[in-house]
Amino acid sequence: MIKKFLSLITILLSGLIAFINLREFYIIKMLEETENYPFGGEGPVPYYYKSSELYSKVVLVWGIIFLTILILGIITTIKDQNRIIRNLFIINLLLIGLNIIQAFL
């Protein structure tokens, strides 16, 4: 039961965060819709708001990282590998924490 819960949480969290980051990349880099973003580094914004180019790179990297966790989570759930699922859950939470912390740097 715990394994299924950890699998579900890992897959949902990593999938949601991967989707959000990859969607941001698509909006900024592909569609070039930057008018709603405070680029230029003015005001209380994270360092990666210095330019749309830097922002798109940062969200792409985070999107790929969480997409990798999502894929690994699905594979380990299908293969029923309890130890790996637990480790992915912990890694996922640590990465979410790092994602939040790096926004304040």
> Is it the case that residue 41 has pLDDT exceeding 70?
no
Cα 41 from Cα 46, distance rounded (Å): 8
Residue 21's H or E segment, with its range, is: helix 2-25
The DSSP code sequence of 39-74 is TTS-SS--GGGS-HHHHHHHHHHHHHHHHHHHHHHH
**What tens digit of pLDDT does each residue of 47-56 get?**
888 989 999 9
Lowest mean pLDDT among 10-14, 40-44, 57-61, 80-84: 40-44
